[in-house]
Amino acid sequence: MTRDRWYRTGDIAVMDEDGYISIIGRIKEVIIRGGENIYPREVEEFLHTHPFVAEVQVIGVPDPRLGEEVGAWVKLKNGTTLTEKELREYCNGKVGNLL
């Protein structure tokens, strides 16, 4: 988060003439957590397999011990609920040692 309250995700975006923004790529395609390479796109694709997940973005978050940690923003489908614990359990043993 910058001082002017912008959150830098590392995404590359373009804005059309109507002011709509499209994400077209990432500045950095890998999160390095304690020497382990984690690819956000792979994690996103897995999280999209959960029946309640509508949208997800995975980013690297600075961590003083590991260098980076995995962060995820998850939007659920209308009418569904899912706790962080339930999502972690869904990922357990399927996405490596991420969560």
Residue-wise pLDDT for 27-75, tens only, equals 778 888 898 899 988 999 999 999 999 999 988 888 999 999 999 999 9
The pLDDT of residue 96 is above 70? no
Q: Whole-model pTM?
A: 0.73
Which of 7-11, 22-26, 61-65, 95-99 has the least mean pLDDT? 95-99
Does the domain at 28-91 match CATH 3.30.300.30? Answer given as yes
Phi-psi region of 5 (alpha: psi -120 to 50; beta: other; left: phi over 0): left
Domain boundaries, the chain: 28-91
Above pLDDT 70, what percent of the chain?
96
